[in-house]
Amino acid sequence: YSTLWTATGFPSPTYSSTGSLPPGLALDAATGLRSGTPTTAGVFKFKVVASNTSGKASTSATQTVTIKLALESNEVGITGTATVGQTLTAETDPWGPGTVKLSYKWERSSNGATWSTISKATKATYKLTGSDKKHRVRVVVTGTETGYTTASVASESDTLS
């Protein structure tokens, strides 16, 4: 993550900030580069001030940024027998941090490249139907938690005979 603040003048300006710069980000006083990796989710409001050493000129800008951190997702697998009438189950280790809400979307494909959502198949289990015969079936698990980016992981797929 980086943002470059610029100002011109003589002597060359230096940069400082007031307010809540997001944790994990720093402002380089010589260049005006705000960079780093955010470590805390939230909304942060801060002001960047550029001033020259003679003390005769300064300018400032206020910015509000919303930081969302990445969820820790896991691989998704399917257990069960890939035969019409049988039930498949999506399995994954816990996602984090905290209590991540997982949702499920089962999909089918005739070629393994283009996938179609299976209507009403939104639980961790899916009972295979005649429409799945000679198709590949997979599950896409999506995790959500306030303050974090949404993450989705698709399982490998099996072809039904």
CA nearest neighbour of 161 among 127, 119, 133: 133
User: Which neighbouring-strand residues pair with 49?
Assistant: 16, 60
Q: φ and ψ at 56, to 5 degrees?
A: -95, -10
If you average pLDDT over residues 65-75, what whole number do you get? 89
HSE, side-chain direction, 13 A CA sphere, residue 49: 10
* Rounded Cα–Cα distance for residues 135 and 132 (Å): 5
What pLDDT does residue 155 have? 96
pLDDT one-digit tens code per residue, 110-154: 999 999 999 999 999 999 999 999 999 999 999 999 888 999 999
Placement of tokens 């039904």 in the chain: 160
What pLDDT does residue 66 have? 86
pLDDT one-digit tens code per residue, 23-58: 999 999 999 999 999 888 889 999 999 988 776 777
pLDDT one-digit tens code per residue, 71-99: 899 999 999 999 999 999 999 999 998 88
Residue 101 CB-density burial (10 A; 0-12 exposed, 13-18 middle, 19+ buried): exposed
What pLDDT does residue 124 have? 98
